[in-house]
Structure 1
Amino acid sequence: MPAGEILFFKSSSFSEPSGPPTHTPIQSSTHIHPPWHQVTWSLLPQLRAADLTAVLDFVARARLSPTRTWLRRCLETSLPHLPQVSPRDLPGLLFDLTELDDRLFAPRGAAATAVTCAFNASPGGGATVALGDGFPGPAAVATTPATRASEATGIAAATKPGPGDIGQQRGTTKESQGKIKGGKGVNDGGVGHDDDGNDGAERGLEALAAAWLRRYLQLCTEKLSRFTAGGVAQMMVAVARSGGLADARWLQAACATLASKSDVLGANDMADAVIALAALRRRRFEVLAVQPSTRNQGPQPADAVSWGGINTADAAAAKGVASASASRSSSSPSADGRIQREQRVLLEALLSRCTTKLSLLPDDRLVGLMAGLAELDVRPDSAWLGTLLDMTLTRMTSEAAAPSAPPSLATLPASLPMPAPMPNPPERSLQEPSTAAVTSSSPSAAATAESDLKKLTPWAPSDLRLPSVAPAGSGSVSSRAFSPRLLSELLVSVAKLGVVPPRRWTRAFLEAASRQLEGFDAASLNRLLWGLVVLDMRPSREWTNRLMEHVRQCLPAEEQRSGGPGSADWGERYDMPLVWAAGQGG
């Protein structure tokens, strides 16, 4: 490739370089494809496995916006080369594709049923560690004639006709009369027509993406022994972040492999593995929430909302997926039991080994670890929770003492009221949390604590976020400071884990929140208020008044943004801040 071509390839906007052009742009009726699109379009069929991962990594890092036709061509040309991709590159490959289109692998229609399985009927809960019932059963990996036919149909629909032929075929239909778009065919290196907004680019893309992800998971399962410990964790994050439905065989094998290598797992990878498991469980809840007609399900859990890089499908399309998958065989109870055991073994190994590594976690991973454990209904023992509280207290205190930190405007009363109904001794050590900390050995206490939380606030918020950066080599730096979002998520996680923090921790948290109170958006305020209510935290009148003033400023802006009071962040809870403030005398 000429040097000038490579330099021009780095720009995502179309403009002619100086000197004679090395190519002629192909213009459709509505769009001019940028040079990088044309170059990669012609090169994709010629790329080897190593070159393919490098090109996708560049396109993703440069934040370019490929068309749906480009994505389809990428999937169809890369599918035969997947077996040649090394285990080191497999996590990054899925990361990059998801970065280009975060809905690419999320099932949205009947074409995605090739990897859709029959979920368990119970939405989880009740047991202290309810892990296995949050994941798909083995039906997702059972290769049946219907499945093979579905995959073959999807691949065939996606691979032919080419972009140039699609315009000719659509010209013969009633819907596309007068909309024929010119362009070169695939064989002569053309880019074809613009595909934004028409049905041609979507033709077979869902089925192709489902088949691609199915093959990806199969290869990852076969190559697990060649993955490093960190590679397994990053692969789990990539699968969870893709929004696709993971099959039981892959999940069971990944958990078992990671548990066997947990002694050499880094701190960040430990946290990422827990976050990924929780995200996969949340994905299952989201799918269950849109298929009440196919199963005798109750209403969607109040806290089952979208989060992070995982995006849900449209409700109507998801209902079609659920309807098509409902006729499939249900998951085997024995397979579910094996998955539960593998996940439990993995979580026990991660918790036992990450105690000494908590100090190495940046703030976002530390909070993500806590949120993931709460999402998975895991209740660590009191010593582990005490270490976690100590760690967060130390960080909030050190950030408050930093020279760059602005002075706090909030003052707390000399004797902060004890959280009710479970008071703490005044001099209790953080290493000895109160009996409110639920452990896995006390299922009755776990059920009681969970019941109390639901009674107080049945709309418990959840904002679990997956790491949004690709594995090793991305060069990004995780957060080392508690932002408003992290502070609110920290408070919610502490409450969901069943911990009643001591007064020193409460005071440090309120001081940290006070310094950034104006930076809390509607979602963060929602979580903050929920945590204040559940933990019965009672700040000073000045702190409360300042908080409520910020709430009053956020509500009109949130109404304007959402077009009405039914916003995703506030829902039907507009009176909750006022009720809480009235209880504090604010």
Structure 2
Amino acid sequence: MPAGEILFFKSSSFSEPSGPPTHTPIQSSTHIHPPWHQVTWSLLPQLRAADLTAVLDFVARARLSPTRTWLRRCLETSLPHLPQVSPRDLPGLLFDLTELDDRLFAPRGAAATAVTCAFNASPGGGATVALGDGFPGPAAVATTPATRASEATGIAAATKPGPGDIGQQRGTTKESQGKIKGGKGVNDGGVGHDDDGNDGAERGLEALAAAWLRRYLQLCTEKLSRFTAGGVAQMMVAVARSGGLADARWLQAACATLASKSDVLGANDMADAVIALAALRRRRFEVLAVQPSTRNQGPQPADAVSWGGINTADAAAAKGVASASASRSSSSPSADGRIQREQRVLLEALLSRCTTKLSLLPDDRLVGLMAGLAELDVRPDSAWLGTLLDMTLTRMTSEAAAPSAPPSLATLPASLPMPAPMPNPPERSLQEPSTAAVTSSSPSAAATAESDLKKLTPWAPSDLRLPSVAPAGSGSVSSRAFSPRLLSELLVSVAKLGVVPPRRWTRAFLEAASRQLEGFDAASLNRLLWGLVVLDMRPSREWTNRLMEHVRQCLPAEEQRSGGPGSADWGERYDMPLVWAAGQG
């Protein structure tokens, strides 16, 4: 089939299904693949750049389940075609690959180290970002002979056939040759085996993904002048969602380009850019917070280091490696200073221009914007914050006339550990004189930025959620109603920004939460209680009793869901809401 005929995969004629995934992965022991898998497998080497993006868009939107072998072949065959992908399609390409496997680009093994260590150590290999021995990232975006050589070495190692495909060398035994389905393997056009669970093949995929992402960031940097303003914002969101470690030069260039085009940036893209910046910063600190001695001791517990923040137990570990992390991350102080300046300029431009566009933001983007600013330690002036509070107040009161049915607890996300109480943040009165649009650390204070962030994160729940849809559909799925999750995240964001909301805002919030109180899951209750304590909000006795009754009902549900004591899922701090409730009335 000619490569051009694959255009029937274009997503413009495809409507995204609303039901469960259309394909249930088949056990690798059967070595049977669905028709779409076999067709695309044979076509991948023949696809042009435009056709490649169309196929990936189709597979992602159809919610198909490609195997790890398929993903490996996709990266392997698409890498040479990346320079031909247009800037318009680059954000969506990374979105789709992350949608197929949200851990594809997250550095988590020694195989990724093999790709980037030689690059970082090579003389003339461009700028490096030292992020720790076990967590190599896309280290630079400068193309030099040394980087090309090291990249080629990494790709060759990554694409070397694994032991579950065609054997590691020509002298394989008949027993190993018998593992090849139909006499064909991954590299000669056959469907091959599903290498899920194969350690060697998995390491090869990690190395290949690291090389692919580095090349992707390099090309994005080279083509930044051809991106639209919205395209730059969506590219930043795509990189943040991928979980990969973005290098300093790409981030600096992206911030500078977006700041220069911010006057034509849409409201959603403005919010997405702030959320992406905060997520990239959070990802970097998460990596630096892991002790070197624990990197080779197996996976961390689910609640040890998470996207949502660093828990109390990790705070001590983070302190122990803070100085080492600072020395690694500040290996180029001038580069850190430039990034700080570019981010500051970008945030000032975004905040000054989005004031008149706040009304255009759907509720999820509005709350995400507030959470992102809090995560970045940005403190807008009182007038800007007052406008933001008035906007949320208007929406909470207008939604009171048509309350929606509370969502089922079964459909809500899993719980987070219950945080310990912390002192109130510095209060910011909305009557104080206006200050600068953005208050943040100076470039010379880059070395202290990490410790400043860690002062808050061990106790405060994080409310940062990246947009989970590709750019083409970002405007159609945003919510215009405050769900229980958004209400709880709104309250925590207000508390983290150090704002003391007026009484009318507090009253409207409590009324909005009361209408959906039974819809709060354990994670939302966690944030709600934290915000109530920090802001010293005092609801009525009736409201408090309803809340505590729902808390007691959620604990058995959490115990059944997690298979353990519900109080343990809340960080064994169930006494905190009880003490708070006892003081109300």
- Structure 1 residues 499, 25: CA separation in 2 closer, same or farther (over 3 Å shift)? closer
380-389 vs 125-134, which deviates more? 125-134
CA contact (8 A) 1:195 1:201 kept: yes
Please name the residue that 2:390 is paired with.
390
- Structure 1 residues 376, 3: CA separation in 2 closer, same or farther (over 3 Å shift)? closer
Please name the residue that 2:76 is paired with.
76
134-143 vs 374-383, which deviates more? 134-143
Name the CA distance, whole Å, in 2 between partners of 1:350 and 1:147: 35
199-208 vs 65-74, which deviates more? 199-208
1:152 CA drift (Å): 3.2
Q: Deviations over 1:201-249 (max 9, x none)?
A: 3141111101100000000000000000000000000000000000111
- Structure 1 residues 552, 447: CA separation in 2 closer, same or farther (over 3 Å shift)? farther
CA contact (8 A) 2:304 2:314 kept: no
Name the CA distance, whole Å, in 2 between partners of 1:251 and 1:259: 12
1:127 CA drift (Å): 26
- Structure 1 residues 134, 552: CA separation in 2 closer, same or farther (over 3 Å shift)? farther
1:571 CA drift (Å): 1.9
Q: Percent identity?
A: 100
169-178 vs 325-334, which deviates more? 169-178
CA contact (8 A) 1:302 1:459 kept: no
CA contact (8 A) 1:229 1:261 kept: yes
1:2 CA drift (Å): 12
1:477 CA drift (Å): 1.9
1:87 CA drift (Å): 0.2
8-17 vs 244-253, which deviates more? 8-17
- Structure 1 residues 245, 434: CA separation in 2 closer, same or farther (over 3 Å shift)? same
Q: Are 1:161 and 2:161 matched, yes or no?
A: yes
1:307 CA drift (Å): 3.7
CA contact (8 A) 1:438 1:499 kept: no
TM value normalised by structure 2: 0.78
- Structure 1 residues 65, 360: CA separation in 2 closer, same or farther (over 3 Å shift)? same
563-572 vs 255-264, which deviates more? 563-572
- Structure 1 residues 526, 107: CA separation in 2 closer, same or farther (over 3 Å shift)? same
Name the CA distance, whole Å, in 2 between partners of 1:241 and 1:389: 28
- Structure 1 residues 77, 207: CA separation in 2 closer, same or farther (over 3 Å shift)? same
Q: Deviations over 1:343-388 (max 9, x none)?
A: 0000000000000000000000000000000000000000000000
- Structure 1 residues 165, 447: CA separation in 2 closer, same or farther (over 3 Å shift)? closer
CA contact (8 A) 2:240 2:279 kept: yes
1:513 CA drift (Å): 0.5
1:556 CA drift (Å): 1.8
38-47 vs 180-189, which deviates more? 180-189
Name the CA distance, whole Å, in 1 between partners of 2:152 and 2:204: 10
TM value normalised by structure 1: 0.78
464-473 vs 126-135, which deviates more? 126-135
Name the CA distance, whole Å, in 2 between partners of 1:571 and 1:453: 21
CA contact (8 A) 1:230 1:265 kept: yes
Name the CA distance, whole Å, in 2 between partners of 1:278 and 1:111: 28
CA contact (8 A) 2:274 2:372 kept: yes
Q: Deviations over 1:415-457 (max 9, x none)?
A: 9999999999999997879999995599999999999999999
Q: Deviations over 1:38-62 (max 9, x none)?
A: 0000000000000000000000000
- Structure 1 residues 173, 535: CA separation in 2 closer, same or farther (over 3 Å shift)? farther
1:546 CA drift (Å): 0.5
CA contact (8 A) 1:41 1:189 kept: yes
- Structure 1 residues 242, 315: CA separation in 2 closer, same or farther (over 3 Å shift)? farther
449-458 vs 464-473, which deviates more? 449-458
RMSD value, Cα: 8.6
Aligned length: 585
CA contact (8 A) 1:113 1:324 kept: no
CA contact (8 A) 2:371 2:464 kept: yes
1:520 CA drift (Å): 0.7
Q: Deviations over 1:490-546 (max 9, x none)?
A: 000000000000100000000000111111111110000000000000001111010
Name the CA distance, whole Å, in 2 between partners of 1:522 and 1:332: 43
Please name the residue that 2:581 is paired with.
581
- Structure 1 residues 411, 513: CA separation in 2 closer, same or farther (over 3 Å shift)? farther
Runs of at least 4 residues off by over 6 Å: 2-28, 114-138, 142-147, 168-171, 173-180, 294-304, 308-329, 403-438, 441-457
Name the CA distance, whole Å, in 2 between partners of 1:414 and 1:469: 20
211-220 vs 292-301, which deviates more? 292-301
CA contact (8 A) 1:291 1:319 kept: no
Where does structure 2 lack aligned partners over 5 or more consecutive residues? none
Q: Relative contact order, CA 8 A, sep 6+: which one is greater?
A: 1
Please name the residue that 2:128 is paired with.
128
Where does structure 1 lack aligned partners over 5 or more consecutive residues? none
36-45 vs 417-426, which deviates more? 417-426
538-547 vs 19-28, which deviates more? 19-28
Q: Deviations over 1:146-193 (max 9, x none)?
A: 866653343113323389853686995899799665553457642112
CA contact (8 A) 1:113 1:321 kept: no
- Structure 1 residues 470, 334: CA separation in 2 closer, same or farther (over 3 Å shift)? same
5-14 vs 381-390, which deviates more? 5-14
464-473 vs 310-319, which deviates more? 310-319
CA contact (8 A) 1:157 1:204 kept: yes
Name the CA distance, whole Å, in 2 between partners of 1:326 and 1:122: 23
- Structure 1 residues 434, 171: CA separation in 2 closer, same or farther (over 3 Å shift)? farther
- Structure 1 residues 327, 145: CA separation in 2 closer, same or farther (over 3 Å shift)? farther
Please name the residue that 2:226 is paired with.
226
Name the CA distance, whole Å, in 1 between partners of 2:3 and 2:19: 13
Q: Secondary structure at the match of 1:549?
A: helix
Name the CA distance, whole Å, in 1 between partners of 2:81 and 2:299: 43
CA contact (8 A) 2:180 2:193 kept: no
Q: Deviations over 1:2-25 (max 9, x none)?
A: 999999999999999999999999
Q: Deviations over 1:242-301 (max 9, x none)?
A: 000001110000000000000000000000000000000110111012135499999999
Name the CA distance, whole Å, in 2 between partners of 1:13 and 1:181: 35
137-146 vs 44-53, which deviates more? 137-146
CA contact (8 A) 1:26 1:192 kept: no
CA contact (8 A) 2:425 2:498 kept: no
410-419 vs 75-84, which deviates more? 410-419
CA contact (8 A) 1:136 1:246 kept: no
493-502 vs 416-425, which deviates more? 416-425
- Structure 1 residues 451, 318: CA separation in 2 closer, same or farther (over 3 Å shift)? closer
Name the CA distance, whole Å, in 2 between partners of 1:112 and 1:344: 32
558-567 vs 504-513, which deviates more? 558-567
Name the CA distance, whole Å, in 2 between partners of 1:120 and 1:302: 31
Q: Deviations over 1:382-413 (max 9, x none)?
A: 00000000000000000002376899999999
CA contact (8 A) 2:162 2:168 kept: no
- Structure 1 residues 420, 130: CA separation in 2 closer, same or farther (over 3 Å shift)? farther
129-138 vs 484-493, which deviates more? 129-138
CA contact (8 A) 1:294 1:323 kept: no
- Structure 1 residues 21, 437: CA separation in 2 closer, same or farther (over 3 Å shift)? closer
- Structure 1 residues 578, 122: CA separation in 2 closer, same or farther (over 3 Å shift)? farther
Name the CA distance, whole Å, in 1 between partners of 2:530 and 2:316: 31
CA contact (8 A) 2:377 2:453 kept: no
Q: Deviations over 1:72-113 (max 9, x none)?
A: 000010000000000000000000000000000000112223
CA contact (8 A) 1:271 1:365 kept: yes
- Structure 1 residues 126, 407: CA separation in 2 closer, same or farther (over 3 Å shift)? farther
CA contact (8 A) 2:418 2:571 kept: no
271-280 vs 305-314, which deviates more? 305-314
- Structure 1 residues 200, 431: CA separation in 2 closer, same or farther (over 3 Å shift)? same
- Structure 1 residues 63, 227: CA separation in 2 closer, same or farther (over 3 Å shift)? same
1:331 CA drift (Å): 2.6
1:582 CA drift (Å): 1.1
CA contact (8 A) 2:67 2:196 kept: yes
CA contact (8 A) 2:128 2:139 kept: no
CA contact (8 A) 2:140 2:218 kept: no
Name the CA distance, whole Å, in 2 between partners of 1:42 and 1:415: 43
Name the CA distance, whole Å, in 2 between partners of 1:287 and 1:511: 40
CA contact (8 A) 1:386 1:430 kept: yes
1:557 CA drift (Å): 1.9
Name the CA distance, whole Å, in 1 between partners of 2:465 and 2:236: 14
